[in-house]
């Protein structure tokens, strides 16, 4: 299993900006690309408007999936932020990791965060941290 996720540097920077834009609410969205490199970010609205949970409304999720397919890309990642606390998968994140082939990016809006963007593979309740390679 691949232990590194490759992402364009500008997408990595946009992820950090997304987390800081809404520091009190979990931001969320999809990441897509091709040939194993994340090249596109698709911000979504957190339908729960919560600081501790996120959900993308089904209509928006389907629209984003159609847009990704129309652009000839594939879903490679899903992101959300943890406004307070460590940017490590919560029990709920692990329980609701419905896309085992996607990298789950968890962002911290805290300016002092040692690693504001972290990525994980979550499969069958098991969490593996991935290295992030900016390309």
Catalytic residues: 26
Measured CA to CA in angstroms, residue 54 lies from 3, 25, 66, 89, 126 at distances of 26, 9, 21, 13, 20
Phi, psi of 23 (to 5 degrees): -65, -15
> In angstroms, rounded to a whole number, what is the distance separating the alpha carbons of residues 31 and 10?
13
CA-wise closest residue to 104 among 50, 29, 36: 29
Coil/strand/helix, residue 4: strand
| Two structure tokens written together for 6 | 């490759």
């Amino acid at each position: 299993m691949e232990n590194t996720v490759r992402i364009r540097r500008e997408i990595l920077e946009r992820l950090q900006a997304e987390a800081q834009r809404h520091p009190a609410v979990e931001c969320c969205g999809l990441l897509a690309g091709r040939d194993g490199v994340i090249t596109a970010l698709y911000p979504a609205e957190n339908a729960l408007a919560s600081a501790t949970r996120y959900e993308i409304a089904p209509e928006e999720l389907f629209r984003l999936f159609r847009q990704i397919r129309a652009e000839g890309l594939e879903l490679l990642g899903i992101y959300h932020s943890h406004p307070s606390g460590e940017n490590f998968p919560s029990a709920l994140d692990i329980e609701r990791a419905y896309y085992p082939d996607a990298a789950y990016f968890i962002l911290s809006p805290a300016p002092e965060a040692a690693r504001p963007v972290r990525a994980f593979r979550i499969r069958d309740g098991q969490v593996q941290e991935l290295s992030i390679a900016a390309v």
